[in-house]
Amino acid sequence: MDDITHKVLDRLTEINQIPRCSKQEAQITAWLSHWATDLNFEIRRDTTGNLCIKVPATEGYEASPCVIIQGHMDMVCEKTPASTHNFAKDAVGLVHQGDWVTADETTLGADNGIALALAMVLAEDPSCAHPPLELLFTVDEESGLIGAKALDPDLIEGRILLNLDSEDEGIFTVGCAGGQETVIHLPVRREALAAGHRLYDLAISGLQGGHSGIDIHKPRASANKLMARTLAAIPITAGIRIVSIKGGTVHNAIARDAVCRFSAKPDEQATLRQIIGTCKVTYKNEQGASEPSLDLLLEPCSTSSDGATAMSVSDSQRAILLLSALPHGVARMSAEMDGLVETSNNLATLDFSPSQQRLAILSSQRSAVMSRLTELTGCIESIAVLAGATTSNKNSYPAWEPNMSSPLLARCRGVYKNQFGKDPEVKAIHAGLECGLIGAKKEGMDMISFGPTIRFPHSPGEKLFVPSISKVWIFLVRLLESFAV
């Protein structure tokens, strides 16, 4: 491991000492501000909490155009069911596994802590020649690009933006999908359970999950869809009534786990076990090697049903039918770029607790074509309304349309080819990046996204490919050097 890689990973280790789940960026903002103050860099913040650190040009680059290096401060906070990690106070440690770095049963936070680390090491290295820089670190990206959406355009002055939030070294990202979230509320009646009814806990676990944009086309199961399918397999004659149900954690991660407590008639235990056993075999056969740890478990609940309440039988069936009808996965592949998902949705979260009078469902849609996004959102709304539910939409953001004649793209291609002797790939991705929103704030912004190789973001399997760090570093340094005038 070379010296620069050590420095970048050391910075990432420091960053990972600081809690920074989405909407909880106060500590990381203060830490970065203290770092910048120690180096006599100017600090700016807007009312949303976005941070801009101005780094003066090195000698000879004073007349060069200002370059923005951009990343987001928050991370997706996911962990395995067995993990006792507390993201509000516990550090996320780096675990080295050969050429990869991962974490211990949690997300690593390389998305997008690696952008902060690279920018910091670059800014404090006197050997790196560069134009005036603006280090733009946004808040609350993972909740729906909230920081970028509310960015004060006066916070930044540059018109060249390098976003360090892509996850394949050697690939330049020049476009991304737009997005929309739909919240569905299904009102239900709670009624006391009949005497003698038994309670059961049904759990689906062990799925890989993953990023709801980057991984949506892969052969991975959604715990929420499998839960709906399993409950739908139980005949209505069993009289099941949903006491509680919960699945998934955040809008941009494919659900890895789901649990449901339900009641059934007292003589149905053998039938239920047979059905669940059949479902488990079916799912394992369907998923094959893509979900090797998939598990489906039914256990009689030790809690007494006395005094408990649940959805009525009819409302339970409405909920099951609604969950079964809602789509999940790829809706359409791109007609313009081979292999690119154009439109998809993630059946992200389910929530119905014993104190609630409604089932809450969150669906997250993405598309590179905004009219298709509207179409899919309308389809989801229609299904919900037919089931007697209400809907509302939030966190909409536009697609970033590729500009293949971009001067910055041409410069990046030339620098990469000269440095590594081969052409980089140029792609659009089926995920949300902040570039589109930031570009809309400043007319004439020229943008590109790149970064080290990260696998399984938004899941506890997230890992960073260590050899890719030095390649991104070399490219970034040479790119900045190329702006000499």
Query: Across the beta sheet with 95-97, what order do the strands follow?
Result: 95-97, 100-102, 463-465, 454-455
Summarised one tens digit per residue, pLDDT across range 152-168 is 999 999 999 999 999 99
Tell me what percent of the residues of the chain surpass a pLDDT of 90: 90
Q: What is the pLDDT of residue 305?
A: 65
Mean pLDDT, range 92-104, rounded to an integer = 97
Query: Is the model's pLDDT at 3 over the cut of 70?
Result: yes
> Of 232, 3, 240, 12, nearest to 114 (Cα)?
12
Q: What is the pLDDT of residue 302?
A: 76
Summarised one tens digit per residue, pLDDT across range 371-429 is 999 999 999 999 999 999 999 999 999 899 899 999 999 999 999 999 999 999 999 99
Q: How far apart are CA 253 and CA 86, in angstroms?
A: 19
Summarised one tens digit per residue, pLDDT across range 112-131 is 999 999 999 999 999 999 99
Contact 12, 95 (CB under 8 A): no
Domain boundaries, the chain: 3-176+399-481, 180-397
Confidence of residue 197 (pLDDT cuts 50, 70, 90): confident
Summarised one tens digit per residue, pLDDT across range 263-298 is 999 889 999 999 999 999 999 999 989 999 999 999
Contact 279, 185 (CB under 8 A): no
70: β partners:
136, 163
Tell me what percent of the residues of the chain surpass a pLDDT of 70: 99
Mean pLDDT, range 200-217, rounded to an integer = 95
Q: What is the pLDDT of residue 338?
A: 87
Contact 466, 5 (CB under 8 A): yes
b/e map 323-344, b = 16+ CB within 10 Å: beebbbbebeebeeeeebbbbb
CA distances from 227 to 10, 149, 298 (A): 42, 34, 12
What letter does residue 147 receive in the DSSP assignment? Answer: H
What letter does residue 289 receive in the DSSP assignment? Answer: G
Per-chain mean pLDDT for the chain: 95
Q: What is the pLDDT of residue 322?
A: 98
Q: Which amino acid is at 400?
A: W
Q: What is the pLDDT of residue 304?
A: 65
If you count them, how many residues does the chain have?
Answer: 485
Give one word for 321, left, alpha or beta, with left for phi > 0 and alpha for psi -120 to 50.
alpha
Dump the DSSP string for 50-110. Answer: -EEEEEPPPTT-TTSPPEEEEEES-B---B-TT----TTT-----EEETTEEE-SSB---H
Contact 182, 88 (CB under 8 A): no
Q: How far apart are CA 456 and CA 214, in angstroms?
A: 9
Tokens in use for 429?
């991705």
186: β partners:
359
Confidence of residue 196 (pLDDT cuts 50, 70, 90): confident
If DSSP codes are grouped into helix, strand and coil, which group holds residue 288? helix
CB proximity list for 93: less than 8 A, separation 6 or greater: 13, 16, 103, 104
Contact 403, 410 (CB under 8 A): no
What letter does residue 424 receive in the DSSP assignment? Answer: P
Contact 138, 434 (CB under 8 A): yes
Neighbouring C-beta atoms of residue 358, cutoff 10 Å: 15
End-to-end Cα spacing for the chain: 34
Overall fold of domain 180-397: Alpha-Beta Plaits (3.30.70)
Q: Is residue 231 classed exposed, middle or buried when 0-12, 13-18 and 19+ CB atoms within 10 A define those classes?
A: buried
Which CATH code, of 3.40.630.10, 2.60.40.10, 1.20.1280.290, 3.50.40.10, is assigned to 3-176+399-481? 3.40.630.10
Dump the DSSP string for 20-46. Answer: -BTT--HHHHHHHHHHHHHTT-EEEE-
Query: Is the model's pLDDT at 306 over the cut of 70?
Result: no
Q: How far apart are CA 403 and CA 306, in angstroms?
A: 64
350: β partners:
247, 361
Query: Is the model's pLDDT at 24 over the cut of 80?
Result: yes
Active-site residue set: 74, 141
Q: What is the pLDDT of residue 116?
A: 98
> Of 30, 28, 11, nearest to 20 (Cα)?
28
Q: Where are the beta strands (DSSP E) in 150-301?
A: 160-163, 171-176, 178-187, 190-192, 198-205, 241-247, 258-264, 295-300
Mean pLDDT, range 41-54, rounded to an integer = 98
Neighbouring C-beta atoms of residue 256, cutoff 10 Å: 28
Dump the DSSP string for 330-392. Answer: EEEE-SSSTT-EEEEEEEEEEEE-TT-SEEEEEEEEEESSHHHHHHHHHHHHHHHHHTT-EEE
